[in-house]
């Protein structure tokens, strides 16, 4: 570990270490947060079930609102580089209640998806060692999944640099193996050495006007909106690059650039892997599959090499688990700092400079939720994963509208300024809102979910119940919080004019660990500490380094 001269303040903002991440680290966190391998394995089969051969164009069309919303994140982060992201920005644009629900949307989506990530991690852990019986055993998979969450919660608790270093390794392994898989699959298709069901790619796969329901069970609009939200789920996670903005070099510009770059990298990755998988396996082999790589991997790479693809999915789930905990804990930290959550969630570790209570709480709640769903059935786990798309559309869309409203009177001096601040974010919000409404209506139909729930004689789909239920739970918790801590809801702690402070107070030099691509002269935000406490911590840090 390298050390660089660093400046600290006697009085800090939220207790997070700024300047610890450079642009490369931020892009890695943004891309790895989406877990490309896991996301494709868990979702591609359902996209194919909805739109068939038009799945590749869905991946491209889903990129459009993501790209527009990435600009919303970039511009809002430029004026308010707060780790609360949507919570902070929606509060500034629309008021405290809307902002609180934006923050809750992030937390709810992250907790729900953790169950799916843990399930994948537990299953693929046993598949790595050829223990297929254990991979299909609910108890052992759940146990390993819970241990997975515990370990990665500890990593996030231990420090942002350790988290970022693991992300470098996870992402490198994942992307290399995915591209090898795609190259081999396409080579075998074009050399006529694939399966009988293989299909050579054609440009018609990229025709948006050919989109229709694959099995004819839904309208074209319903199939399109459902597939679009599934693809949005695949892209989800790049905003983690912005959630760690207060720990990034040049927090007003680096996180926004990383968000935009992450979406572009994901577009290329998803397009290539989707075409390769569909082309090699054909449609029927992956239609409706909740794990397209478990069977296709061995057919493409052979029995001796498919373990590499399994390992890629395992590292993908690990990366996404870790980077799901990172942004959620920081959103909770920000909400607590502005008194929108109990003050305990604003506590940070004096040495590691990471959220403590928020990180541990995220891991603990995720385990409880995962065990609860796993104890019911695997079907409800599947519905929970699919419901996340609706929550993502909710808070991504809200961010787009927040940018358009916030900058309506500050559109800049050029057409480009107005485009990236107002027009593109607004269009991204409209697209996601339309997909949200149409998919919500479709998922009310119990035939479109694996589980159902009957309330007052009305039978609803499990996806609808989980997504709407989580938002209604947020409304209830918001009013409870307002009753217990009214200052945030009266606009006293956060409003449009509140200055977002990343570093304040007098400074002095100390040594602190840094990522390789971080700046040589960095700044650290620390919790309120006396000079004597800072000197003591500095001496303990030196002693710890001397023992390594």
DSSP-derived 3-state class of residue 507: strand
The pLDDT, as a whole number, for residue 364 is 92
Residue 409, pLDDT > 50, answer yes
Rg (CA), the chain: 23
Residue 315, pLDDT > 90, answer no
Among the residue ranges 16-30, 75-89, 414-428, 492-506, the one predicted with the least confidence is: 492-506
**CA 421, CA 415: separation in Å to the nearest integer?**
10
Q: Which two structure tokens, joined as six digits, stand for 531?
A: 């000079």
> For 176-180, what is the mean pLDDT?
88
Higher pLDDT: 298 or 200? It is: 200
**CA 471, CA 488: separation in Å to the nearest integer?**
20
The pLDDT, as a whole number, for residue 199 is 92
Quick one: pLDDT band at residue 522, thresholds 50, 70, 90?
Answer: very low
Residue 99, pLDDT > 90, answer yes
Quick one: pLDDT band at residue 162, thresholds 50, 70, 90?
Answer: low
Residue 95, pLDDT > 90, answer yes
The pLDDT, as a whole number, for residue 1 is 37
The pLDDT, as a whole number, for residue 410 is 85
> For 67-74, what is the mean pLDDT?
89
**CA 101, CA 400: separation in Å to the nearest integer?**
15
Q: Which two structure tokens, joined as six digits, stand for 177?
A: 């193996």
Residue 446, pLDDT > 60, answer yes
The pLDDT, as a whole number, for residue 152 is 83
The pLDDT, as a whole number, for residue 60 is 92
* Torsion over CA: 485, 489, 490, 494 (sign): positive
Phi, psi values for residue 94, rounded to 5°: -120, -15
Residue 209, pLDDT > 50, answer yes
DSSP-derived 3-state class of residue 9: strand
First to last CA, the chain: 10
- Helices and strands, number each (H, E), in the chain: 19, 5
Apex 74 CA angle, 72 and 75, nearest 5: 70
Q: Which two structure tokens, joined as six digits, stand for 435?
A: 């997909």
Length of the chain: 548
Burial 151-160 (b: 16+ CB within 10 A, else e): ebbebbbebb
The pLDDT, as a whole number, for residue 165 is 66
CB 462 within 8 A of CB 383: yes
CB 128 within 8 A of CB 122: no
Domains assigned to the chain: 19-502 (1.20.1740.10)
The pLDDT, as a whole number, for residue 87 is 93
The pLDDT, as a whole number, for residue 516 is 37
Residue 504, pLDDT > 50, answer no
> For 186-195, what is the mean pLDDT?
91
Among the residue ranges 81-85, 105-109, 318-322, the one predicted with the least confidence is: 318-322
Burial (0-12, 13-18, 19+ Cβ within 10 Å), 483: exposed
The pLDDT, as a whole number, for residue 163 is 57
> For 252-261, what is the mean pLDDT?
78
Higher pLDDT: 11 or 472? It is: 472
Higher pLDDT: 515 or 233? It is: 233
The pLDDT, as a whole number, for residue 401 is 96
> For 521-535, what is the mean pLDDT?
40
List residues bridging with 21 in a β-sheet: 248
Residue 131, pLDDT > 80, answer yes
**CA 544, CA 511: separation in Å to the nearest integer?**
12
Q: Which two structure tokens, joined as six digits, stand for 391?
A: 């929550």
DSSP-derived 3-state class of residue 512: strand
**CA 42, CA 52: separation in Å to the nearest integer?**
16
Written in H, E and C, the secondary structure of 442-461 is: HHHCHHHCCCEEEECCEEEE
**CA 548, CA 543: separation in Å to the nearest integer?**
9
Quick one: pLDDT band at residue 292, thresholds 50, 70, 90?
Answer: confident
Per-chain mean pLDDT for the chain: 80
Instruction: Give the CA distances from residue 455 to residues 353, 381, 384, 463, 467, in Å, rounded to whole numbers and listed in that order.
Output: 46, 20, 19, 15, 16
Apex 447 CA angle, 387 and 197, nearest 5: 85
The pLDDT, as a whole number, for residue 274 is 93
Phi, psi values for residue 454, rounded to 5°: -105, 120
Query: What percentage of the chain exceeds 70 in pLDDT?
Result: 84
The pLDDT, as a whole number, for residue 459 is 84
Quick one: pLDDT band at residue 399, thresholds 50, 70, 90?
Answer: very high
The pLDDT, as a whole number, for residue 166 is 67
| Tens-place pLDDT, residues 360-386 | 999 899 999 889 888 877 677 777 777
Neighbours of 452 (CB within 10 A): 16
CB 327 within 8 A of CB 110: yes
Q: How, if at all, do strands 3-9 and 522-524 pair?
A: parallel
The pLDDT, as a whole number, for residue 290 is 75
* Most confidently modeled range among 68-77, 150-159, 168-177, 282-291: 68-77
> For 103-123, what is the mean pLDDT?
87
Quick one: pLDDT band at residue 200, thresholds 50, 70, 90?
Answer: very high
| Tens-place pLDDT, residues 336-347 | 989 999 988 888
**CA 89, CA 242: separation in Å to the nearest integer?**
12
The residue whose two tokens read 């300024």 is 417
Rounding to the nearest 10 degrees, give the CA dihedral for residues 418, 421, 424, 427.
-110
């Amino acid at each position: 570990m390298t050390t660089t001269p660093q400046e600290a303040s006697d009085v800090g903002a939220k207790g997070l270490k700024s300047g610890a991440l450079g642009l490369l680290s931020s892009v890695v966190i943004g891309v790895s947060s989406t877990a490309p391998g896991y996301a494709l394995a868990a979702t591609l089969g359902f996209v194919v079930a909805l739109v068939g051969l038009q799945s590749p164009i869905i991946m491209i069309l889903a990129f459009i609102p993501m790209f527009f919303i990435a600009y919303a994140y970039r511009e809002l982060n430029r004026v308010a580089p707060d780790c609360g992201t949507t919570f902070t920005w929606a509060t500034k644009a629309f008021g405290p209640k809307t902002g609180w629900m934006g923050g809750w949307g992030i937390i709810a989506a992250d907790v729900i998806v953790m169950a799916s990530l843990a399930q994948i991690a537990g299953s693929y852990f046993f598949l790595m060692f050829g223990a297929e019986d254990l991979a299909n055993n609910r108890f052992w998979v759940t146990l390993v999944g819970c241990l997975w969450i515990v370990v990665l919660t500890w990593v996030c608790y231990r420090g942002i640099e350790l988290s970022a270093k693991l992300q470098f390794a996870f992402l490198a392994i994942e992307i290399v193996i995915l591209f090898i898989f795609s190259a081999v699959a396409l080579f075998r298709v074009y050399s006529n050495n694939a399966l009988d069901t293989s299909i050579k790619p054609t440009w018609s796969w990229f025709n948006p006007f050919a989109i229709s329901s694959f099995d004819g069970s839904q309208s074209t609009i319903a199939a399109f909106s459902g597939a679009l939200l599934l693809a949005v789920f695949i892209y989800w996670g790049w905003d983690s690059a912005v959630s760690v903005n207060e720990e990034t070099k040049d927090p007003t510009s680096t996180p926004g650039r990383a968000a935009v770059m992450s979406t572009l990298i994901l577009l290329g990755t998803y397009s290539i892997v989707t075409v390769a998988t569909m082309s090699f396996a054909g449609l029927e082999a992956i239609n409706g599959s909740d794990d397209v790589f478990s069977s296709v991997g061995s057919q493409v790479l052979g029995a001796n090499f498919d373990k590499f693809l399994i390992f890629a999915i395992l590292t993908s789930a690990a990366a996404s688990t870790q980077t799901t905990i990172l942004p959620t804990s920081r959103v909770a930290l920000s909400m607590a700092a502005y008194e929108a959550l109990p003050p305990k969630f604003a506590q940070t570790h004096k040495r590691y400079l990471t959220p403590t209570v928020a990180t541990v709480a995220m891991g603990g709640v995720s385990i409880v939720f995962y065990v609860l769903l796993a104890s019911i059935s695997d079907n409800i786990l599947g519905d929970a994963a699919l419901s996340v798309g609706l929550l993502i559309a909710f808070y991504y869309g809200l961010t787009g509208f927040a940018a358009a409203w916030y900058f309506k009177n500050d559109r800049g001096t050029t057409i480009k300024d107005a485009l990236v601040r107002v027009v593109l974010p607004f269009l991204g919000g409209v697209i996601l809102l339309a997909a949200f409404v149409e998919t919500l209506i479709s998922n009310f139909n119990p035939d479109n979910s694996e589980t159902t729930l009957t309330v007052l004689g009305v039978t609803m789909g499990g996806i609808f119940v989980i997504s709407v239920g989580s938002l209604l739970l947020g409304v209830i918790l918001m009013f409870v919080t307002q009753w217990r801590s009214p200052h945030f809801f009266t606009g006293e702690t956060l409003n449009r004019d509140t200055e977002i402070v990343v570093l304040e107070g007098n400074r002095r030099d100390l040594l602190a660990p840094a990522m390789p691509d971080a700046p040589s002269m960095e700044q650290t935000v620390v919790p309120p500490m006396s000079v004597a406490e800072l000197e003591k911590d500095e001496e303990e840090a030196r002693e710890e380094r001397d023992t390594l």
